[in-house]
Structure formats: structure tokens, C-alpha cells
């Protein structure tokens, strides 16, 4: 059976959920061979094997952390040369897309980014994508070279598929460009203890209607009562009320949770681009004409300062 390379997104050996979803998709096309790079790479093996990786290629070197993107491209290319896979799958993070794109140029292949589903097809893997702020769904293929495809979080279920998952060291030689862009310093983000925005099953977002950083605790309390991630519209981010890492939309994160709750958000096309594919959508807005209501499964026309705290309290009461 053909092998499929899967690029592993992990933090010090802790594999992030989108990679496990990739393994589910990879198994539809062939046998997953995982590539894990950087500190803790070997620690990823057990979890990857649990989810179907027949082999885990690992490499660690200071270059991966000290220089931007290119060392990882060199390593992925080394894995590609070693395996000659039928396809290469990479999580659709900002960095993942850049790594995938550079690899595609090097191996003379086309690239598809931000797939939301993947199936085997007669002429190679068929990717489903959303276009024009998720108002269209397209199906496409890579028609030249080995398909390189990046896949968004929440695109497939995580499935157990235990296998051997033998760890093999990957030999990597860095090219001249690898040390081109130096990472002079790195400030890790502080953890909020809440789920990762793109991976969360429930997202609660606040917009301009929240009217100030000091009011965002209302949104956070609702999120915490549901175990949800917190999102924000660009208006709320630009006003400095909430960090940009939490922005949902075209120039922020795109999310596809089971439940999306928009509070004080009008539903501009650029915001919809990042949340329109959510399963269930709920909105609270005092303007009955707000475009967000065109998307909702349930909407409350009202003042969020009344409705949201009441909702939070009711959720807590029901949970006992």
C-alpha cells in the first residue's frame, strides 16, 4: 500500500489534535508515515502509533528552533526523498502552510491549502475546500507531481487505529537557505487554560457590542460554563479589548466547532468567513436586522448584558 507522509504538529512531544485528524484522513489514502521534528520529537511516537502511523521519522537539531520555516522544509524534503510517498499532508497552521508550499515548489508538485475533507479518488486524493467566505464548496485535486495538501483543524474525527509505529531517525542536511531568517527571540503565549480556539468543540465570541475590555469577562464566564474557547471579532481586537490570537475571521482564525455563539457581533462577510461552517450557530444581538441572524439556528434579539449573564447562570444551574 502506498505511504502517505503526515507532518506532525506538536509542542515538546505533545501531539496537537489536528495531526491526529490528519492520520484519519491519511489512512483513507494509504499508510501514514509521520514526520516529527524538534525538541521532544521522539516522544510523539506512542500517540501517533495509537492512531495509525506505521512509522515515525524523527529529527532534532537546534536549527529547527533558531531559524524560521526553512530547516523544517529541508527535513520534510529528506523524509519525502526517503519514503517517496503518494501524498504529503500538513496541518493548516500559518507555519504548516508555508512549509508545505516550499516543499511543493522543491518537489515540483501542486499544492492545495485549507482542505476541510479528503477522500481517495481515481486520479489521486480529492480535497474539499470552502471558497469565498465559505459560500461555496469546491472539490479539487493536485494534477502535477505528488499531492501536497494542508488540512484545517476539525476536518475529520480522531480515530484509534493501533499499529507498530516504529521510530526511525531521519538524517537531515540543511541547505544554504536554512539559516536565512534568524529567530532572535521568542515569547511564548501564556496559557489561558481554555481550549485552543481552532480545536474547541464550542466557541463563544464577543464583538463591538461587548463595549470594552472590562466587559469581556461576561463572554469568558459563558465560555467557561460550557468549557468553550473565547473568540473575538476584528472590531473588538482592533479596539484592544481582546488579543489578536483570538480573532475569528478572514484575517484571524477560522473555526468550525459544534457550537458557535456570537455576542454583539454583526456578522460582516469577513467574520462569517471564519465561522460559517460551524455546526450550530447562535447569536445574541440587540439589532434584529443584524446579518448574523441569517446564519443562526437560534437567535436572541436583546441586550447581551442582560441575556448573556442570565444564560450563564441558567447553564450553571442546570449543571447543578
Partner 1 sequence: MSLRIVVCVKYVPDATGDRQFADDLTVDREDVDGLLSELDEYAVEQALQISENSDDDVEITVLTVGPEDAKDALRKALSMGADKAVHVEDDDLHGTDVMGTSLVLAKAIEKAGYDLVVTGMASTDGTMGVLPAILAERLGVPQVTLLSEVAVEDGKVTGRRDGDAASEQLEASLPAVVSVTDQSGEARYPSFKGIMAAKKKPVESWDLSDLDIEAEEVGLEGAWTAVDSAAKRPARTAGTIVKDEGEGGKQLAEFLAGQKFI
Ligand X SMILES: Cc1cc2nc3c(=O)[nH]c(=O)nc-3n(C[C@H](O)[C@H](O)[C@H](O)COP(=O)(O)OP(=O)(O)OC[C@H]3O[C@@H](n4cnc5c(N)ncnc54)[C@H](O)[C@@H]3O)c2cc1C
Residues that bind ligand X (CB under 6 A): 207-209, 233-236, 247-252, 264-266, 268, 270-271, 274, 284-287, 290, 303-305
Which residues fall within 8 angstroms of residue 144, CB to CB, at 6 or more apart?
108, 109, 110
How many of the chain's residues bind partner 1 (CB under 8 A)? 90
Which residues fall within 8 angstroms of residue 315, CB to CB, at 6 or more apart?
222, 225, 226
304-319 and 216-226 helices cross at what angle (nearest 10)? Answer: 30
Nearer to ligand X, 66 or 221 (CB): 221
- Least separation in angstroms between residue 129's CB and partner 1 is 9
Left (φ > 0), alpha (ψ -120 to 50) or beta: where does 281 sit? Answer: beta
Find which of ligand X, partner 1, none residue 233 binds, CB within 5 to 8 Å per kind. Answer: ligand X
CA dihedral 236, 241, 243, 244 (to 10 degrees): 30
Nearer to partner 1, 145 or 169 (CB): 145
Name the one range near partner 1 by CB under 8 A: 38-46, 48-56, 178-186, 206-214.
178-186
Q: Site residues for partner 1, window 62-101 (CB under 8 A)?
A: 68-70, 73, 93-95, 97-98, 100-101
Nearer to ligand X, 105 or 213 (CB): 213
Which residues face 52 on adjacent strands? Answer: none
β-strand pairing of 87-91 with 55-59: unpaired
Nearer to ligand X, 288 or 317 (CB): 288
Geometric angle at alpha carbon 95, from 246 and 47, rounded to 5°: 90
Which residues fall within 8 angstroms of residue 209, CB to CB, at 6 or more apart?
263, 264, 265, 285, 286, 304
- Least separation in angstroms between residue 267's CB and partner 1 is 12
Find which of partner 1, ligand X, none residue 264 binds, CB within 5 to 8 Å per kind. Answer: ligand X
Q: Site residues for partner 1, window 263-302 (CB under 8 A)?
A: 269-270, 273, 276, 280-282, 284, 288, 293-302
- Least separation in angstroms between residue 127's CB and ligand X is 23
Nearer to ligand X, 8 or 218 (CB): 218
Which residues face 284 on adjacent strands? Answer: 263, 300
Nearer to partner 1, 33 or 198 (CB): 198
Q: Is 313 in the site for partner 1 (CB under 8 A)?
A: yes
Geometric angle at alpha carbon 81, from 76 and 82, rounded to 5°: 95
Q: Site residues for partner 1, window 120-139 (CB under 8 A)?
A: 126, 130-139
Q: Site residues for partner 1, window 28-67 (CB under 8 A)?
A: none
CA dihedral 178, 183, 187, 191 (to 10 degrees): -10
Nearer to ligand X, 73 or 219 (CB): 219
Q: What is the largest CA-CA distance in the chain?
A: 61
Nearer to ligand X, 146 or 233 (CB): 233
β-strand pairing of 14-15 with 87-91: unpaired
Report CA 251 to chain centroid distance, whole Å: 14
Name the one range near partner 1 by CB under 8 A: 19-27, 53-61, 209-217, 245-253.
245-253
Name the one range near partner 1 by CB under 8 A: 46-54, 55-63, 163-171, 180-188.
180-188
Find which of partner 1, ligand X, none residue 12 binds, CB within 5 to 8 Å per kind. Answer: none
Find which of partner 1, ligand X, none residue 309 binds, CB within 5 to 8 Å per kind. Answer: partner 1
- Report yes or no: 12 and 36 within 8 Å, Cβ to Cβ: no
Amino acid at each position: 500500500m502506498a505511504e502517505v507522509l503526515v507532518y506532525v504538529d506538536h509542542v515538546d512531544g505533545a501531539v496537537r489534535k489536528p495531526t491526529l485528524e490528519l492520520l484519519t484522513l491519511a489512512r483513507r489514502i494509504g499508510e501514514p508515515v509521520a514526520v516529527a521534528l524538534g525538541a521532544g520529537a521522539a516522544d510523539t511516537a506512542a500517540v501517533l502509533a495509537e492512531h495509525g502511523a506505521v512509522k515515525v521519522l524523527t529529527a532534532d537539531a537546534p536549527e529547527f528552533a533558531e531559524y524560521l520555516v526553512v530547516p523544517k522544509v529541508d527535513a520534510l524534503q529528506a523524509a519525502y526523498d526517503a519514503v517517496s510517498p503518494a501524498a504529503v499532508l500538513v496541518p493548516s497552521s500559518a507555519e504548516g502552510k508555508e512549509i508545505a508550499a516550499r516543499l511543493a515548489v522543491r518537489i515540483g508538485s501542486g499544492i492545495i491549502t485549507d482542505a476541510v475533507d479528503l477522500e481517495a479518488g481515481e486520479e489521486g486524493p480529492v480535497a474539499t475546500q470552502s471558497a469565498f467566505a465559505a459560500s461555496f464548496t469546491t472539490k479539487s485535486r493536485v494534477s502535477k507531481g505528488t499531492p501536497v495538501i494542508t488540512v484545517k483543524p476539525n476536518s475529520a474525527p480522531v480515530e484509534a487505529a493501533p499499529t507498530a509505529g516504529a521510530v526511525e531517525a531521519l538524517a537531515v542536511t540543511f541547505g544554504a537557505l536554512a539559516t536565512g531568517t534568524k529567530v532572535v527571540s521568542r515569547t511564548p503565549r501564556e496559557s489561558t487554560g481554555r481550549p485552543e480556539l481552532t480545536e474547541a468543540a464550542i466557541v463563544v465570541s464577543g464583538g463591538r457590542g461587548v463595549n470594552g475590555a472590562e466587559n469581556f469577562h461576561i463572554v469568558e464566564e459563558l465560555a467557561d460554563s460550557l468549557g468553550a474557547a473565547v473568540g473575538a471579532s476584528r472590531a473588538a481586537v482592533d479596539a484592544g479589548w481582546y488579543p489578536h490570537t483570538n480573532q475569528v475571521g478572514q484575517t484571524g482564525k477560522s473555526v468550525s466547532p459544534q457550537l458557535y455563539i456570537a455576542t454583539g457581533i454583526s456578522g460582516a462577510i469577513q467574520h462569517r468567513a471564519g465561522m460559517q461552517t460551524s455546526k450550530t450557530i447562535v447569536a445574541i444581538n440587540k439589532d434584529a436586522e443584524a446579518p448574523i441572524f441569517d446564519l443562526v439556528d437560534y437567535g436572541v434579539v436583546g441586550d447581551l448584558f442582560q441575556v448573556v449573564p442570565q444564560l450563564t447562570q441558567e447553564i450553571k444551574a442546570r449543571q447543578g
